[in-house]
Every structure is written in C-alpha cells, then in structure tokens.
C-alpha cells in the first residue's frame, strides 16, 4: 500500500522530503484500519502519529496541511475527483481530514497492512 500511496502522492508533487509525507501515510493507515477514528481525528489519529514519529501533535497537523497544500497546487483536485468519482473536489480545497478519508477509502485494503 505504501507504494500505491507514494505513487499517488508523487503524481501531485508530494515527495518523501516533506515532513508530512510519513505523517500522512500513517494517518491514512490508521483511518483505513479503523474508519471511526476520523470522528475524533486529533485524539485517534494525530496524537498516535505524533507518538510514532516522536514529534508534537501540532507538527503532525501542520505537516499534513502542507501535504494538502502541495497536492492542491499540483492538480490534486483532479486526482481527488477521480478517486471519489465526484467532480466536487475540483472547486474546493478539502480539509486534511477529508483527504485522509479519501485516501483511506481508496487504498483501504492495502492500508490496513501498514500499521
């Protein structure tokens, strides 16, 4: 799964040198494993990711927003529209939680193997 997500992120200009790269992938894996975690994303996803990466939760939040911003600058809206089969994303900047959910659902079977 990591390879599939890596290819998707790479296609919209998000590479491993971004601090949020690993945070994003771990967040997607946690959300895919237990989708209800998205209901309390800070407690159920961001805090565990911060602990796994030995950083502060505010860094996780900021770094995932950076991943989102880079993605959207590089035509990530088209990718999200394809992933969801919905053109809605072409005119909207999603919240990080929404991108995590889209990736988790799209790569669900593969994501469960990461954590």
> Which residue segment(s) compose the domain that 101 sits in?
2-111
pLDDT digits 0-9 by tens, 26-54? 999 999 999 999 999 999 999 999 999 99
Count other C-beta atoms under 10 Å from residue 55's C-beta.
15
The CA-to-CA distance between both ends of the chain, in Å, stands at 11
> Per-residue b/e over 68-90, b at no fewer than 16 CB within 10 Å?
bebbbeeebbebbbebbeeeebe
Confidence of residue 88 (pLDDT cuts 50, 70, 90): confident
Overall domain count for the chain: 1
| CATH value at residue 88 | 1.10.10.10
Give the pLDDT band of residue 72 (cuts 50, 70, 90): very high
| pLDDT tens for each residue of 52-63 | 999 999 999 999
What is the C-alpha to C-alpha distance for residues 35 and 53, in angstroms, rounded to an integer?
Answer: 21
Give the rounded percent of residues in the chain with a pLDDT score beyond 90.
73
pTM of this structure:
0.89
The pLDDT value recorded for residue 91 is 81
């Amino acid at each position: 799964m990591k390879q599939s997500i890596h290819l998707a992120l790479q296609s919209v200009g998000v590479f491993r040198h971004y601090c949020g790269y690993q945070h994003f992938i771990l967040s997607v894996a946690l959300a895919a494993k237990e989708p209800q975690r998205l209901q309390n994303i800070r407690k159920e996803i961001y805090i565990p990711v911060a602990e796994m990466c030995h950083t502060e939760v505010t860094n996780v939040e900021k770094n995932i927003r950076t991943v989102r911003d880079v993605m959207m600058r590089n035509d990530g809206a088209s990718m999200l529209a394809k992933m969801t089969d919905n053109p809605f994303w072409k005119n909207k900047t999603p919240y990080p939680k929404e991108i995590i959910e889209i990736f988790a659902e799209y790569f669900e079977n593969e994501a469960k193997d990461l954590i």
